[in-house]
Each structure stands twice: as structure tokens, then as C-alpha cells.
Amino acid sequence: MKTRIFVTLKNGVLDPQGKAIHHALESLGFDGVNDVRAGRLIELEHEEGISKAQMEEMCQKLLANTVIENFEIEG
Amino acid sequence: MRAAVIQFPGSNCDRDMAVAIRDVTGADTSIVWHGNSALPDGLDLIAVPGGFSYGDYLRSGAMAAKSPIMKSVVAAAGNGVPVLGVCNGFQVLTESGLLPGALMRNAGIRFVCRDVKLKVENSQSIFTSRYDAGEEIIIPVAHHDGNYFADDATLDRLEGEGRVAFRYAEDVNGSARNIAGILNDAGNVLGMMPHPERMIEAMQGGSDGRRMLEGLIREIA
């Protein structure tokens, strides 16, 4: 089965990449976008037996840097 | 004196670091592959060099921080062995938990590669005893992810405990409080984005990095 994990920058942490994407969108003529925050999507293909707690541990230990990032495990 | 420089796939400052350590300190210096789980015995210094370990996959330094050798580096640091992390090495040390905070994409997005002026904030550490507090030195930077971030409480603690070793004299990459290098609480681990190993002799444009290694010999001896 597949689980998606979203890793995003915490609120208040400056996101220079999001800012650059925002500027690029504006330069392409897309008005009305107020802010852009870029994150990371990680898809795990895994056995049924992997628990959410184990995935949280994966996030804590490697997939996210909790100093600057939040993570959300789908489902 | 014995030193080890850790080499990850994608390290590119490992040999410069080894040559600098060997030339300045005369240490028996070996390059240790990340896949080894054991360090050489009797080390007086471990250097985690710059580069792009694991292609900066996931986050700069994240994969390297979980490699087999880093368990031994963390253990050695806990036993008081001096550990110097430069550039990607600083990123590896924060990812491995030896130093607080994180290094994020430069605020200006661009890769910054130039000589920068640093202010020595702490001249009492084993790494900085050959500098004067408040002295300005020139050391080059070359990084994309050097924007130091930590929450305010951590920053206040670092400043209050004298653990900011170096500060940029001007904004280089958006780092919180212009922090360029920090020490761990025991003072035996230093992480910094600028490259002291690139300022060892006049031929390189200056020798302000040399004094870090000279200070280390004096402190370790």
C-alpha cells in the first residue's frame, strides 16, 4: 500500500524558494497569488503492517527536520 | 597528534581539509570513508568537511548524518574529542543533533561564493584561542544552504553562553543574527559555514584560517 507524507516549513520560517516561485508566477502574469510556500511530498510504498507510529518515527528521525519543518501523514 | 577527516559520497573539501590539518599541525591525518563504522583510535581531532554529501538529497547533510561513521563521531564528540564541521560539515552536525538549529536555503536564493569578513565573537574556545575577541578575519564561503535558523530561545541561549564563535560582519545569507559558526555546550564541537581550510597560506589569499588549527595544536597539547 501507499502512504503520502507531506513535509512543509513551519509557520514563521522564511521560505526563499516559495518567494522565488511567487515572483516567477507574477512575472508570468498570474496575479492574485498572495503567498507561496514550497514543501516536499514523500510517497512510501509499504507493507500493511507499518503503523502510523512507525511512520511518525521515520519523519522524526529522517524525513523531516523538526527544527524547521512540520510533517503530515496522509490517512 | 592524530586527526581524521570524514569522507562522504559527494564530499569535495575532504582533501583540502586533510592537507591543511597535516601541514599546519603535523597530525597523522587519515581520511575515513562514511561507510566505516569505526574511527581510528586515539584521535585528537575529527573534521567533517564541505561538499555535497549524498547530492544534498532530502536536505543538506541529512543523509550523511545517518551514515554509519556518524554514530562514532557523535560518540567521540560526547567523549570530548574536538569536532570541526565546515560548510556541509556544519549541516551534517546540525542534522546529527551535535549542534542546535538548521541551515536553510540562502535568503537571496543564490549560491554565495566569495571571501567574507567574520567577527570573532568567542576567542576562548579550543578552536579560536589564537584570535582576539572582536577581531575581524577574512575567510571564504561557498554555499547555497548557509542561512542559519534556530528559534529565539535557542539563539538567546547560544548568545548568552558565548557559543556564537563567528558572526558575519555583514548579511551574507540571511542567517539569524548573522551567525556564521557555533559551538556545542561543551565547547568541543564547532560548526561553521566559512572555510578556514581555504585560508592557510598567503598563496590562497590569506592565512586567517591557519590560526584555528594553530590554536587547536596548542589547546590539545
Neighbours of B119 (CB within 10 A): 18
Q: Which pTM value belongs to this model?
A: 0.95
Q: Which residues of A9-30 are buried (b: 16+ CB within 10 A; e: fewer)?
A: beeebbbbbbbeebeeeeeeee
Structural domain range at position B15: 2-220
User: Domain A2-73 has what CATH class?
Assistant: alpha beta
Q: Which residues of B touch A20 (CB under 8 A)?
A: 109
User: pLDDT value at position A75?
Assistant: 76
Q: Which residues of A touch B155 (CB under 8 A)?
A: none
For residue B49, which amino acid is it? P
Q: In which residue are the cell numbers 516536499 written?
A: A40
**Domain containing B86 — which CATH number?**
3.40.50.880
CA distance A51 to A5: 13
CA distance B190 to B84: 5
User: pLDDT value at position A18?
Assistant: 93
- pLDDT for residue B220 is more than 90: no
Q: Can you read off the three cell numbers belonging to residue A19?
A: 518567494
Let me know: does A73 contact A55? Beta carbons within 8 Å.
yes
When pLDDT is averaged across residues B87-116 and rounded to a whole number, the result is 97
- pLDDT for residue B188 is more than 80: yes
- pLDDT for residue B89 is more than 90: yes
**Which of B54, B56, B58, B172 is the mutation pick for testing A, counting most A CBs within 10 A?**
B58
Q: How many CA atoms lie within 13 A of B161 on its CB side?
A: 13
Q: At what angle do helices B210-220 and B14-25 cross, to 10 degrees?
A: 60
User: pLDDT value at position B215?
Assistant: 95
DSSP code, position B11: B
Domain boundaries, chain A: 2-73
User: pLDDT value at position B45?
Assistant: 98
Q: In which residue are the cell numbers 576567542 written?
A: B123
> pLDDT-based confidence at A12, cuts 50/70/90?
confident
* pLDDT, tens only, A24-70: 999 999 999 999 999 999 999 999 999 999 999 999 999 999 999 99
B13 carries an active-site annotation: no
Q: Where are the beta strands (DSSP E) in chain B?
A: 2-7, 28-33, 45-48, 83-86, 102-104, 112-120, 136-143, 147-149, 164-168, 179-183, 189-192
Using CA coordinates, name the residue in chain B closest to A63: B58
ipTM entry: 0.87
User: pLDDT value at position B202?
Assistant: 94
Q: Which residue(s) pair with B192 in the sheet?
A: B86, B181
What is the SS3 string spanning B102-139?
EEECCCCCCCEEEEEEEEECCCCCCCCCCCCCCCEEEE
